[in-house]
Structure 1
């Protein structure tokens, strides 16, 4: 946590005994606003925390929690707690489960006896929204299996496991190879049948010529 005075609070800091601070937190977290007074030198004192600047007249406007020096006497919500050792002057304010509504100025007053000698402390709290994971970070942790793609029709999927892609490619290549082999076999069979047919025609032709020659011999002898 970085303690620093903000230009907008310069006059306020001059009028206060304590310094100004700024705390930045994330929505949903527990945030602490540290503050400790010198209980050893001044003894235990009444203190109060309020949302807003500490008024000059006394007390805390919009008071959220207060103590009598040794224990908490009032609080506006269980979200506000003083978890430090009150007997040592540790009155650090803890706000649990913060939201953006908790952003703003908080003030703590240590009520010393006497006029114009109260100790005042102001802190500006800024609660930011929790970061949302990006789409790329979410997709990197998801592996889509063939079963997931069959059961959920969400259109084209850009993130597919390497194993599934390789399997599909292998299956397609294997199918194409089988198709090519079948075509070669069919062409070979056609060529063989064609060759057998041609040979059969030639053989039949030669037999027919011989047969015709035998039939013509008696005719020649008779002449």
Structure 2
């Protein structure tokens, strides 16, 4: 039951991330196949890096449903394009949902490898954020991960809550739901209220050489 629940949120997260990638690609004069690739990279990029770091075969090589899920996401964007444009900031919403769900999947899979909790949090953050990083690089955008937006830190917050729930003996589905909700909520609140870390100001040569 618990394993099936993790699989479910994995595919929901894959769909959400794929939609966010395809939606962003739609404004870049990219054809349908190119949009599919962008959606696929967004959906599986972080998990691929995670699995390589864990020394295991990337998950999508063992399950073709990730390719099918991305195809369904492309079809949904094509059929519901006018509705998606009308919805409030659809790209951001799907990206936030994908971020939360996929982060938790990364933590869960890292726990299966019996890694320390802090490594699991790092792996969850990689799973959640690297796909978006690759998407932005391919589309010639400044990656969200490197901007002042609260992005990777939302994954870290969700990871900390995940292990706090474990400490209090919450069931796995409840733990995953709470932790994913924290990631999504932190991301949405940071966007809504313009919360961000301080920006690193440039240091020109004149400033550096001043006594």
Q: Same fold (TM over 0.5)?
A: no
Larger radius of gyration: 1
Q: Which has the larger share of helix?
A: 2
Q: TM-score, normalised by structure 2?
A: 0.25
Q: Using structure 1 for the length normalisation, give the TM-score.
A: 0.24
Greater share of strand residues, 1 or 2?
Answer: 1
Q: Which has the higher contact order (CA 8 A, sep 6+)?
A: 2
